[in-house]
Structures are given as structure tokens and as C-alpha cells.
Amino acid sequence: QVQLVESGGGLVQAGGSLRLSCAASVRTFSSFSMGWFRQAPGKERDFVAAITWSGGSTSYSDSVKGRFTISRGNAKNTVFLQMNSLKPEDTAVYYCAARYSDVVFAPRADMYAYWGQGTQVTVSS
């Protein structure tokens, strides 16, 4: 079984930075991938970034590439999302997700079996 808990959300000004964390409780990290999605009110849940646990391969949506960085801290069973140069359109609930696959390009939400409860990120103009 997999349990995911996000933290680090909050209110920031446009141009600011924020780092999200996701703590994973999981039996094994073999063939394991984690990702971040976000969902604004009335909008679809959109892919942000993903990383494979063993190889460290990463994938990003075009809207965040160059501004956001996904990384892992395996010893702490944690994945991070460093968010820089934040824009008001980044405002959303950010969800941590996981799946048992080492294929990093997985931009659809239905590809992930495990989800956290989300953390709110609000970027003011």
C-alpha cells in the first residue's frame, strides 16, 4: 500500500518561490515513479512534473519547464517540487501522485494509482 502526504503550500507573491514536499510511505521503491499534478477550481487536473525513483529521469509540462524542478530524497522517502518565478496562473491545489512504473512520461492523471490529499498554492499578483 502507498500513502502520500503533501506539504509546503501557501500564499506567495508573483515572482516568488515555494518548495513542496511529498512524503511517501511505501513498501518498495523498485519500478516506482512519483509526480506532481495541479488542479484549479473548475479545471482539469493537469500534469506538472514526474520523476522515476531508480533512474532519476524527469519530465515536465511545458508551462513549468525552466521554473519548476522535481527532485527526490530517497533516504527520507520524499519528493520535492521547487517552484520559482511563480505566476498567478500557477494557483491551484497541488497533488502528489505515485505509480509502480519506471516510465517517466506519464502525463495523464489516470496513469497514477496513488494520490495525496493536496496542498494549496496561491500566487498573488
DSSP string, 24-71: EE-S--TT-EEEEEEE-TTS--EEEEEEETTT--EEE-TTTBTTEEEE
- Spatial distance between the Cα atoms of 42 and 35, rounded to a whole number of angstroms: 21
pLDDT above 90 covers a percentage of the chain that reads 81
pLDDT value at position 75?
A: 65
Task: Give the pLDDT band (50/70/90) at residue 56.
Answer: confident
- Spatial distance between the Cα atoms of 42 and 33, rounded to a whole number of angstroms: 27
pLDDT value at position 97?
A: 96
pLDDT of 76 over the 70 cut: no
Task: Give the pLDDT band (50/70/90) at residue 53.
Answer: confident
**For residues 104-111, average pLDDT:** 93
> What is the widest separation between alpha-carbon atoms in the chain?
42
pLDDT above 70 covers a percentage of the chain that reads 98
Name the nearest CA neighbour of 109 among 118, 97, 125: 97
Per-residue pLDDT tens digits for 21-44: 999 998 887 888 999 999 999 999
- Dihedral sign of CA atoms 106, 58, 53, 15 in order: negative
pLDDT of 110 over the 80 cut: yes
